[in-house]
Structures are given as C-alpha cells and as structure tokens.
Homo-oligomer: A and B are copies of this chain.
Amino acid sequence: MPPFDVPFDLPEGDPFGPHNLPYGVFSPSGSADRTVGVRLGDHVLDAGAAAAALGSPYVSLLARPSLGPLLAAGRTAWSDVRRALTAWVTVPAHQEAIAGLFHPLSSVDLHLPFEVADYVDFYASENHARNVGQIFRPDAADSLTPNWKHLPIGYHGRSGTVVVSGTDVVRPSGQRKAVSDAAPVFGPSVRLDIEAEVGFVVGVPSELGRPVGLGDFREHVFGLCLLNDWSARDIQAWEYVPLGPFLGKSFATSVSAWITPLDALEEARVAPPERTHELLPYLDDSASDVERGGYDLRISVAINGHVVSEPPFSTMYWTAAQQLAHMTVNGASLRTGDLYGSGTVSGPSAAERGSLLELTWNGRDALELPDGKRTFLEDGDVVTLSAWAPGPDGVRVGLGDVVGRVVSGDV
C-alpha cells in the first residue's frame, strides 16, 4: 500500500484505511444536501467533489445524492472507480486538490445510502435454523424442515422500513396470543429481539424471465453491509402460519451507513461448510469457479456496549451467490437497490448465536449484563452490530456498525 497522504491522523492498520473505502451518503454539517462519501479512518471524503477537483469522469457517478448510479454502473465501473479513489487518497500529488474535502465523521449526517428496491431475508445459518427448530419443535425428529438442505429458504420483507444505522427503533405493538390465552391480546411487543445478519446489495439489474446463475454473482452484487433484522417474537409467533413473518418483522430493519464493496473483501473469501446433501445444478457450488463463495466476517453483537455474542459469518451453510441464484431461478428480475439479508448468523457455540431467542433459549436463560438481566430487549437498550474481515497484509477490513436504540411506542 502506498504511503498515506491525507490531512489527518490515520493509524497504520486502521480497519477503515485505504484498503477498505466503503461507500455511503452523507450531508456535511449544516447542509441538507446529500452526496456520496467514502470513509477513510474516522473521516469521510466528499467523493463527488474530489472527482470534480481532479477532473475525473466519475463525477457523474459520485456527485449524486444516492449510491444508485454507482450501483447501476456495473462491475467494470465499480473496479475503475475504486482504483481511482485508492489513488486519490494515497498518491501525494492529489493531496492539495482534495485535502479540504474530508469531513470528520462526527460532523456529518449519514443517510440510507440507496433506495431499497426489494428486500428479501434468508434463513441460511444451519446453527440458527437448528436452534430455532429445537426451541419451537422440541419433539421433531429433525430440527430442520425437510426443504432446508435443498434450497435457501427466504421471504420478502418490507423495503420501506429499512433504516440507516442510528435510527431509533420504536417498539412495535401488535397481536400476540400465548397458548394459555383464550383470545389474542394487543399491546407493545414483550419479546423484542435482534437478528445479526449480513445484507447484500444488488447493483446490476436482470431481465424478467432470465435466471441469474451462480457464476454471475459478482456481476450483479456490488457489496455488503451489516443488517439487524429486528423481530417481535410474540407478534411473529401468532401471525406467521401459514404465510410467514409479517408485522413481527416489518416495523424496522437497520443497515449500516457504509456499503463495503466486494472488491475490498477478496482476502475474506472462504469455502462454505461442506454440503451434506447433493444440490440441484443451479445451486451446486462445488465447481471451482465458485468454490470460495463464503465470506469470513467476524461479527460482534453488543447491548449497551456489552458484547453478548460473536457470530462467525463463515459458518453460513448457504452463500450469497446461492441465494441470488435461488431468488431468480423462477425468472424473478433484479433491480438496482435490491437488498437481501443472509438470515441470522449463528455459530456452533452458545457465545456465537445471533439472536436473543437463541442466546436466552427463548427467554429461559437470561443474559447477565452489567446493567441487569435480559431475556429480550428493554426500552432504551442500544444494540450495536460490528464486524471485521481479514484484509490484505494482515490488516482488518472494518464493516460499518449498525446501531439502534429501542424506544417506547408511547410517544
């Protein structure tokens, strides 16, 4: 990596160094204007202004209020723009032109970086699916449903309630009915949970009626981010038969303000777990060109600053490439801005579970936090997802945090 030459302190090995360069959308302090920014350390570079200052043709992709145009531009443009940005922040000759275009993160507002088209959520962690099966169907012969090892189970969520990290989450109200209740009751959820996930962002659309193959994953998917799929377990339990989760999920889904391009995660690519069942050809990733379809992302889940879990993304049974192939195998088209979540990330050990449902075994085993016991979330709780991945030369690639505070609905 060339020597840095940015006008602020950037420690060597910073997880947001020039090897990372995630994209977001920000407003400078005191401005309502939104524009694309690139994170470097604890600063954000006004990428469109930098492009203009340096006479770059990428001003048309970067001096925009959304990542949409960049997402739609496709893989060649993604690589070219990334190469240009890397040069801008590392080649000394550029310093004078862009030195004034960095803003401290503390001085900017970060926005949802793109308009979410369709939002799909998967269920791709075998550990998570087995935990859920054991909790809700303890007498079943197999904790997985019969289809689980044959296809990546997923469903559509509400794209209009995807919110950027930092947005408060209002505790949802709804119907719930315990087995012992004669009729459903209404009120604020008493079993509000999180799901630690990774979200994948589609850039290049596809044509209706034309499936996207496993090998085309990187042509369509621009990058990824952390995602918290907030879940009201009591609402979900009463509503979800037979058509799946609805109001138990649709009140909020939080994503990071920073989208990490896949190009920043080359060193994090790993083989997925060994497949225990033969897969149909459209999902078969045993061929060499897609063999490293997993990503080694080390996630951390904290409540009020106290880490309660460290889910390892490398353990996911189904990869993002398989999910994309499955999502389109029926001919469903992709749009720029489609977002799909991996499903809750849970590792094999108890300290690697990505939901309170699993961490407390459906409320049976409370967590002991410095500020008291928790089964599910209390008003005022702040949940933070963070993650890093192995990068070049042993440096970490940081993912943008996802932070959300639970607030009462009685406002």
Q: Which residues of A line the B interface, CB within 8 A?
A: 117-118, 120, 123, 145-147, 150-151, 153-161, 163, 170, 172-175, 177, 183-184, 186, 208-209, 211, 232, 235, 238-248, 250-252, 278, 280-282, 326-327, 329-335, 338, 409, 411
Contact between B159 and A243, CB atoms less than 8 A apart: no
Contact between A329 and B174, CB atoms less than 8 A apart: yes
Contact between B156 and A156, CB atoms less than 8 A apart: yes
CB neighbours (8 Å) of A173 from chain B are 211, 329-331
Known contacts A118-B160, A155-B155, A209-B411; 16 additional CB pairs below 8 A are A118-B158, A147-B184, A147-B241, A153-B239, A153-B246, A173-B329, A174-B330, A175-B280, A186-B282, A232-B330, A240-B242, A240-B243, A240-B244, A244-B245, A247-B327, A252-B331
CB neighbours (8 Å) of A159 from chain B are 117-118, 159
Report the separation of the CA atoms of residues A170 and B122 in the bound assembly, to the nearest whole angstrom. Answer: 25
Report the separation of the CA atoms of residues A61 and B327 in the bound assembly, to the nearest whole angstrom. Answer: 36
Shortest CB-to-CB span from A238 to chain B, Å, is: 6
CB neighbours (8 Å) of A155 from chain B are 155-156, 243-246
Copies per complex?
2
Report the separation of the CA atoms of residues A161 and B328 in the bound assembly, to the nearest whole angstrom. Answer: 11
Question: Given A150-B183, A186-B280, do A158 and B244 touch, yes or no (CB 8 Å)?
Answer: no
Q: Which residue of B lies closest to A343 (CB)?
A: B243
Main secondary structure of the interface of A (DSSP, over half): loop
Question: Given A170-B209, A280-B175, A280-B184, do A332 and B147 touch, yes or no (CB 8 Å)?
Answer: no
Contact between A243 and B241, CB atoms less than 8 A apart: no
Report the separation of the CA atoms of residues A240 and B123 in the bound assembly, to the nearest whole angstrom. Answer: 12
Contact between B280 and A156, CB atoms less than 8 A apart: no
Report the separation of the CA atoms of residues A150 and B176 in the bound assembly, to the nearest whole angstrom. Answer: 10
Report the separation of the CA atoms of residues A145 and B239 in the bound assembly, to the nearest whole angstrom. Answer: 10
Contact between B208 and A161, CB atoms less than 8 A apart: yes
Report the separation of the CA atoms of residues A170 and B209 in the bound assembly, to the nearest whole angstrom. Answer: 6
Q: Which of B174, B246, B331 contacts A154 (CB 8 A)?
A: B246
Report the separation of the CA atoms of residues A186 and B329 in the bound assembly, to the nearest whole angstrom. Answer: 10
CB neighbours (8 Å) of A147 from chain B are 175, 177, 184, 238-239, 241
CB neighbours (8 Å) of A172 from chain B are 330-331
Shortest CB-to-CB span from A246 to chain B, Å, is: 5
CB neighbours (8 Å) of A326 from chain B are 247
Residue among A123, A186, A250 with max Cβ neighbours from chain B (10 Å): A250
Contact between A332 and B156, CB atoms less than 8 A apart: no
Report the separation of the CA atoms of residues A330 and B187 in the bound assembly, to the nearest whole angstrom. Answer: 10
